[in-house]
Amino acid sequence: MGLILREKETAPCTVTISHRFEELSAHVRFDNGAVIHPGDTVEVQGPEIMAPYGEIVEEKRLATITRASKLERLWTRSTGDFEFMELCEFSFSNEVMS
Amino acid sequence: MNAHSRDSEALHSSTAATAEEAIALQEALPPLTNEDATAVAMQNTLLTPRFYTTDFDEMDAIDVTPVRKEWDVLIGQMKADPNKGHFKKNADWDDVDWDGMEPKLKAEFIDFLISSCTAEFSGCVLYKEMKRRGSNEDITTLFQLMARDEARHAGFINDALREAGIAVNLGFLTQAKKYTYFRPKFIYYATYLSEKIGYARYITIYRHLEANPEMRFHPIFKWFREWCNDEFSHGEAFALLMKTDPKLTQSFVNKLWIKFFLTAVFSTMWVRDHQRPAFHKALGVDPKWYGQEVFRKTSEISRQVFPITLDIDSPRWVRNLNRMEVANIAIAKGRKAGGLGGWLTRMGGTVRAGLAFVSLLTIPAVSNEVPQNPRLEPAY
């Protein structure tokens, strides 16, 4: 891991999407045990995945992990906390609708 | 719904006897491939949850021994899953006249549903990640149970959205997404507050509509009571977690953090709710009354674990919330206008919003004697 430079790696992953009445969820699990650190970026390769309504879909894919540089990781560790508002249901968009 | 989903009704997680069974059923359903996807002519809404990492070693090191008795009771209640049969549509789910709905109300109500769905979904992603990466069984069990509830809520809202012709799009998975970082203690403060304020918001609307049923313009509000009891028990779990380490709520610095979180969450809610005038008008709710009512309930509940509450009766409180709201409208106008003039409007708004926030933060807090046993039951 460089101080400034990012590094990329590829990891096999399993994507699970539940698009059912009783459960709406989507998760990515790395099959090789890759661990994500603050500031890393993950992109699942290939076309968009979506389960039809009422169903659960599981697909094996490859994911590109872009590792944050040392500086970025440090930055994310010290500022990430301020994104907590996302968890509240009233904090989604910035649009003023009136 | 298609045939497959009706088949899976037999294996519906809400018919399972235990939490483990429900989770196993959710996970055991046959995976299908994309080829089965049916194209639906619906308006697409991309969900954009955040992704988090945290200090998993620190989380694993949590020892619930000091609150073991209360902890086991709470986890037992969550495993028993009293709401497992609640999230089903029955005769109470009356028809919604989406086409007859006033367009502005429809737009705001849909925005409300989408933001609720996103919050549930983000909670689910966060909790599932904690569950997966942790190794402390007390903690992973809790997160698994909470992920179950959040996914169920998200599914329920998603169904209401589908009736309105809105399809959520989970395409974010194949877009690059950055993982941010949350210190464990901030996860406790923020999720505790978001669960408890969620409870206060839902129950306040529910009670209001109970008294004024003619204002209930959509059946989903009838489900709010049991729904918010899930939020309540999630909050209880975080209250117990915070109790395991007195420093988390009693040290000087952490008291400041708690004040910051309370102020940020309350003021964001105020600003945000004022952006939905038609929605509140249709419900017959004044957003200022609603805001204060929700803050009052949340403050009262949070006395179970937080050593301070905000002085929401201070004259500076509502005055500066209103300033923030006005500044926020200026920011949005500036963003819309673009150009140098727009930029200046935006910056002016940002400075004023910042000053109002600082003024809110400097209102002296009310100190609170925290009880030995924090456990509460939903009482509103």
Pairwise CA distance, residues B84 & B270, whole Å: 32
DSSP structural state of residue B171: G
Average pLDDT over residues B117-139: 88
Average pLDDT over residues B275-302: 96
Choose from A37, A87, A98 for mutation: most chain B CBs within 10 A. A87
Nearest CB to A87: which of B2, B5, B190? B190
| Residue A15 in contact with partner chain B when CB distance is under 8 A | yes
Helices marked H in chain B: 3-9, 19-28, 56-60, 68-80, 103-133, 137-163, 184-211, 224-243, 247-250, 252-273, 277-283, 287-302, 315-337, 339-361
Pairwise CA distance, residues B1 & A53, whole Å: 7
DSSP structural state of residue A54: T
| Residue B31 in contact with partner chain A when CB distance is under 8 A | yes
Residue B338, both tokens: 């673009």
Q: Is the pLDDT of residue B212 over 80?
A: yes
CB-based burial label for B196 (10 Å; 0-12, 13-18, 19+): buried
Is the CB of residue B241 less than 8 Å from the CB of residue B62? yes
Higher pLDDT, A60 or A78: A60
| Residue A53 in contact with partner chain B when CB distance is under 8 A | yes
- Specify which of A87-96, B86-95, B210-219 reaches the highest per-range mean pLDDT: B210-219
Is the CB of residue A39 less than 8 Å from the CB of residue A68? yes
Q: From B25, B221, B76, select the one nearest A23 (Cα to Cα).
A: B25
Q: Is the pLDDT of residue B250 over 70?
A: yes
Question: How far is A5 from chain B, CA to nearest CA, in Å?
Answer: 16
Residue B69, both tokens: 């008795």
Q: Locate tokens 């996860």: which residue? A: B187
Average pLDDT over residues A15-39: 90
Average pLDDT over residues B188-217: 93
Q: Is the dihedral of CA B336, B342, B343, B346 positive or negative?
A: negative
Identify the pLDDT of residue B30: 40
Identify the pLDDT of residue B267: 94
Contact pairs from chain A to chain B, CB under 8 Å: 232
Question: How far is B166 from chain A, CA to nearest CA, in Å?
Answer: 12
- Residues above pLDDT 70, as percent of chain B: 89
Residue A82, both tokens: 């301020």
| Residue A69 in contact with partner chain B when CB distance is under 8 A | no
Q: How far apart are the first and last CA of chain B?
A: 36
Pairwise CA distance, residues B194 & B266, whole Å: 10
Nearest CB to B182: which of A23, A81, A94? A81
Where does the pLDDT of residue A89 fall: very low under 50, low under 70, confident under 90, or very high at 90 and above?
low
Given an 8 Å threshold on Cβ–Cβ distance, is B115 in contact with A89? yes
Where in chain A are the domains? 7-87
Where does the pLDDT of residue B77 fall: very low under 50, low under 70, confident under 90, or very high at 90 and above?
very high
Q: Is the pLDDT of residue B13 over 50?
A: no
Q: Is the pLDDT of residue B59 over 80?
A: yes
Question: How far is A10 from chain B, CA to nearest CA, in Å?
Answer: 13
Average pLDDT over residues B330-339: 91
Given an 8 Å threshold on Cβ–Cβ distance, is A40 in contact with B179? yes
Could you give phi then psi for residue B119, rounded to 5 degrees? -65, -45
How much is the pTM?
0.83
Q: What is the dihedral of CA B174, B179, B180, B185, to 10 degrees?
A: 120
| Residue B28 in contact with partner chain A when CB distance is under 8 A | no
Q: Tell me the pLDDT of chain B averaged across its residues.
A: 85
Given an 8 Å threshold on Cβ–Cβ distance, is B177 in contact with A23? no
Is the CB of residue B223 less than 8 Å from the CB of residue B157? no
Is the CB of residue B110 less than 8 Å from the CB of residue A97? no
Is the CB of residue B237 less than 8 Å from the CB of residue B146? yes
Q: Which residues of chain B make contact with A96, given a CB cutoff of 8 A?
A: 275, 328-329, 332-333
Given an 8 Å threshold on Cβ–Cβ distance, is A25 in contact with B174? no
Residue A51, both tokens: 């389960």
Average pLDDT over residues B162-184: 84
Pairwise CA distance, residues B41 & B60, whole Å: 46
Pairwise CA distance, residues B353 & B345, whole Å: 12
Residue B181, both tokens: 């970082």
Residue B166, strand partner residues: B43
| Residue A8 in contact with partner chain B when CB distance is under 8 A | no
Nearest CB to B176: which of A43, A47, A91? A43
Pairwise CA distance, residues B148 & B124, whole Å: 7
Pairwise CA distance, residues B93 & B316, whole Å: 43
Angle between helix B252-273 and B184-211 (nearest 10): 40
Q: Is the pLDDT of residue A82 over 80?
A: no
- Residues above pLDDT 90, as percent of chain B: 53
Give the lowest-confidence range in B76-90, B220-234, B276-290: B76-90
Q: Which residues touch B255 (CB under 8 Å, ≥6 apart)?
A: B249, B307, B308
Identify the pLDDT of residue A87: 65
Residue B174, strand partner residues: none
| Residue A92 in contact with partner chain B when CB distance is under 8 A | yes
Nearest CB to A92: which of B52, B115, B197? B115
Identify the pLDDT of residue B6: 34
Average pLDDT over residues B283-299: 97
CB-based burial label for B141 (10 Å; 0-12, 13-18, 19+): middle
